[in-house]
Structure 1
Amino acid sequence: MKRYCLALDLVNDPTLIAEYEAYHQNVWPEIKASITTSGITDMEIYRFGNRLFMIMEVDDTFSFERKGAMDAGNLKVDEWEQLMWKYQQAIPGAKPGEKWVLMDRIFKL
């Protein structure tokens, strides 16, 4: 089991943030399937203001490359990602077009 932590910002607009949260209370079944079939065993997203923090726990089959390949051409994943981009904005320091940015662990007890 491995854990990844990622960050992303939302557009700083209370109405858009509320809409984004509402979508995440009822994530489309095709999106949940694309997550679980890629080897992600658990995922949580937390928010403070317009900053998001995601924790993903994955099994040995998971890689970001494999997940990307599995999602390529998946019309529902494409639709979801386009819809979410309405609410999301790149975090400072992200590469052009990059959404979720992998964080480095700097401490572990």
Structure 2
Amino acid sequence: MRKAFVMQLKKGCEAEYQKRHNEIWPELKALLSESGVFDYTIFLERETGKLFAFQQVKGQAGSQGLGGNPIVQKWWAYMADLMETHPDNSPVSTPLEEVFHMD
């Protein structure tokens, strides 16, 4: 299954956002893999700060259902200064509907 969503990066935080993801915590990476995520890419539109995330997932879960996990909550708190977030530090995220896929 493919999943995609958009998030919003705060202006001027592009380099730090990329740095933190380049140093993703091993425990977070393991948790994502265990939840069925086997391919996860985030793209940045620099002009607007819009982040486009794409995941390939085994099953239905994906990263969007991991919000109750302490590792994810710690990551959200770590990233909250860089992104638009909800009061619980979860990123403001809008799921996207797949309308075309070419094999």
TM surpasses 0.5: yes
Structure 1 stretches lacking a partner, 5+ long: 91-96
Give the TM-score of the pair, scaled to structure 1: 0.75
Structure 2 stretches lacking a partner, 5+ long: none
Q: Once the 2 structures are TM-superposed, how far is the Cα of residue 66 of structure 1 from its aligned partner? A: 8.5
Aligned length: 96
Instruction: Quote the RMSD (CA, aligned, Å).
Output: 2.3
Percent identity of the aligned residues?
Answer: 23
Contact 1:31 1:77 in 2 (8 A): yes
Give the TM-score of the pair, scaled to structure 2: 0.79
Change (3 A) 1:17 1:57: same
Contact 2:42 2:51 in 1 (8 A): yes
Q: Larger radius of gyration, structure 1 or 2?
A: 1
Runs of 4+ in 1 over 4 A off after TM superposition: none
Match of 2:20 in 1: 23
Residue by residue, what CA displacement relative to the aligned partner does 1:12-54 show, whole Å, maximum 9, x if unpaired?
Answer: 12xx221111001110111101111111111011111111111
Greater fraction helix: 1
Confirm whether residue 83 of structure 1 aligns to residue 78 of structure 2: yes
Change (3 A) 1:66 1:105: closer
